[in-house]
Chains A and B, each alone.
Chain A
């Protein structure tokens, strides 16, 4: 039963004494969950339109008394906001594209012919990379990438490489299971119909995992976009990403809450926009009806 069906069923529930009680219960529960999730969002947007002094005022105001958008240009142009957002886009875009370019074919290989690519053990080793805490490899990686090593600290390259360490395993494993869900016979049919293995992959297998591919892309993008630990250690000023700059706005005697909020709002936009754009594809179950029985 899809979420939509459940909602419809809920809306059409006949009003019996028991049903009414159930409705009140469910509505109350959903309201609490929504309040907890949406309140921070509301508070961020609210704060971003306040003046610096109002944003620090106690008790706080629930709507800006003096509405201003000044926080946005301030953080963008006086506190490097624009630069870090551009860096974030660059790093996330690079990491996402590379993770997909590497991870999608690898996931396909592990789904279709694991024996030829090292089998279950290698597949699990790839996943295990995703499991250790990022702080563990930071020190050795730092020495490898610093000027004593290959000297790529504070570049797009280093950030993208680092982000691949956790995004490639994620992509491989997610895509592996999406590919496994496609009946093998559909691809075999393509081979027999006269296309090469590679054409069968991109003309048949890939379109069939489109919803999965979209979901994976979104996750990889979000993980790269929000990453903080690696960014903090491996960037200076050249390619600082936005999560790193936010703590720097927490000053000694005054915290620029309105600017922090403004930058946060801007940082949320790409994620929300991409989710909305891809939503239609995300929920479309293309493989339905691929195979009878």
Chain B
């Protein structure tokens, strides 16, 4: 069993560059947690601290209950796959995979056998005698994975290992990594800036921004009940619509356009800030309503037909509003349409900053 605990972990580079700010997170045994966030959010630094490649400025990291702050990377028994793969260019594939075994004094037949086994698992038996420079990106990726799994490490750390692959291969490897993790039942921390990767891979997602964890939750929860405005905008594609405005008499009024939305009482009463942000995912927006049902109207700016659905753009000058409708919905640029926002799917964020918290209703109706 391998459990990784981060307790109030902070990393400061130089005198004042705070890369990771008071992060606390527990990764359970056998769990796949994805650290996701934009570049510079501290996710890679967090991973590198778990690996022991960066010192911890403040706080405690425990692996299986043991404080590892001062334990060297080589003594943590953790495997890591790098974005660049970081294969040893002067060694053959076989000797790349066997390196961790050599380091541990595993020799002779046992070593050869385990390398062969791993190569078979990953389907790279024919490549064993090649050099890394003779391999394609996907093959290099497999070798990097092989080097990680050959020695049954306590945990796997993945630092954007899919970022250098092309889109098709990325999706393939994504599935393969998840299957591998399930097979081995090993604890894994996966870092990515790609929210789709996070959604599809993680048992839980830890969304990071500016060195802080914004939310740790299962993928569907970060999607349905984002903790704050940042998470709401970061998770989901296309991004959640955000309209800044005020709450007056149970109604939301936008600052920048003539938009008024009647809010459920539970939401309207719970806000504390003068100005709030209303959010709704494009796929929840209902087009073509009229009269009382329509919250507001708009002129269609652009329609993007993606085949299985259509993205409809409205331009309100200060902000853009998107709706996602089915492929059969008749809509074209220039149309005047009524827009309805189903109360069940409206999110309200108490403030306008990224860390403005989502207002929780007494009973979450979306669940």
Which residues of A are in contact with B by a Cβ distance under 8 Å?
Answer: 183, 185-186, 188-196, 199, 204, 207-208, 210, 286-293
The list of the 4 closest CB pairs from A to B, nearest first, reads A289-B133, A194-B103, A185-B86, A189-B86
Among B87-95, B114-122, B233-241, B349-357, the stretch that binds chain A is: B87-95
Return the chain A residue nearest B77 by Cβ: A194
Per-position binary interface string of chain B over residues 210-241, scored 1 when its CB falls under 8 Å from any chain A CB and 0 otherwise: 00000000000000000000000000000000
Indicate the member of B86, B133, B140, B151 with the most A CB atoms within 10 Å. B86
Given A199-B103, A288-B133, A208:B74 Cβ within 8 A:
no
User: What is the bound-complex CA distance between A185 and B164, given in angstroms?
Assistant: 15
Interface of B is mostly: loop
Q: Are B53 and A208 in contact (CB under 8 A)?
A: no
- Using Cβ atoms and an 8 Å threshold, which residues of chain A touch B103? 190, 193-195, 199
Given A289-B133, A290-B132, also A195-B74 (CB < 8 A): yes
With CB as the reference atom, state the residue of chain B lying closest to A183.
B84
- Partner of A196 from B74, B131, B133, B151 at Cβ < 8 Å: B74
Question: Are A291 and B131 CB-contacts (below 8 A) given A190-B99, A193-B99, A194-B100?
Answer: no
18 pairs, CB–CB < 8 Å, chain A vs chain B = A185-B84, A185-B86, A186-B89, A188-B53, A188-B86, A192-B73, A193-B74, A195-B74, A196-B74, A199-B103, A207-B90, A289-B132, A289-B133, A290-B132, A291-B84, A291-B85, A291-B86, A292-B164
- Whether A208 and B89, one on each chain, are in contact in the complex, defined by CB atoms closer than 8 angstroms, is yes
Q: Which residues of B contact A210 (CB under 8 A)?
A: 90
Contact with A along B47-89 (1 / 0, CB 8 A): 0000111000000000000000000111011111011111111
- Report Cα–Cα, A188/B164, bound state, in Å: 19
Contacts of B90 on A, CB cut-off 8 Å? 207-208, 210, 286
Q: How far does the Cβ of A122 sit from chain B's closest Cβ, in whole Å?
A: 19
A195-B74, A286-B89, A290-B87 are known contacts. Are A188 and B82 too (CB-CB below 8 A)? Answer: yes
CB distance from A206 to the nearest CB of B (A): 10
Given contact pairs A289-B131, A289-B132, A292-B137, A192 touches B78 in the complex (Cβ within 8 A): yes
Q: Is the CB of B147 within 8 A of A193?
A: yes
What is the interface size of chain B, counting residues whose CB is below 8 A from a CB of the partner? 33
Given contacts A188-B51, A193-B74, A195-B74, 5 further A-B contacts (CB under 8 A): A185-B84, A190-B99, A192-B51, A192-B76, A193-B79
**Counting chain A CB atoms within 10 Å of each CB, which of B53, B88, B137, B151 scores highest?**
B88
* Separation of A185 and B74 alpha carbons in the complex (Å): 14
Least CB distance from B1 to A in Å reads 21
A105 to chain B, nearest CB (A): 19
Contact present for B74 and A191 (CB under 8 Å): yes
The A-contacting residues of B in range 132-146, CB under 8 angstroms, are 132-134, 137, 140
Give every chain B residue within 8 A of A292 (Cβ-Cβ): 84-85, 137, 140, 164
Q: Which residues of B contact A207 (CB under 8 A)?
A: 90
A20 to B103, CA, bound (A): 60
How far, in whole Å, are A207 and B96 apart by their CA atoms in the complex? 14
Closest A-chain residue to B83, C-beta based? A185
Q: How far is the CB of B64 from chain A (nearest CB, A)?
A: 17
Q: Is A289's CB under 8 angstroms from B89's CB?
A: yes
Chain B residues within 8 Å of A204, by CB: 88
Task: Write the nearest CB–CB distance from A278 to chain B, whole angstroms.
Answer: 17
Report the minimal beta-carbon distance from A256 to chain B, rounded to whole angstroms: 50
Is B104 close to A, CB under 8 A?
yes
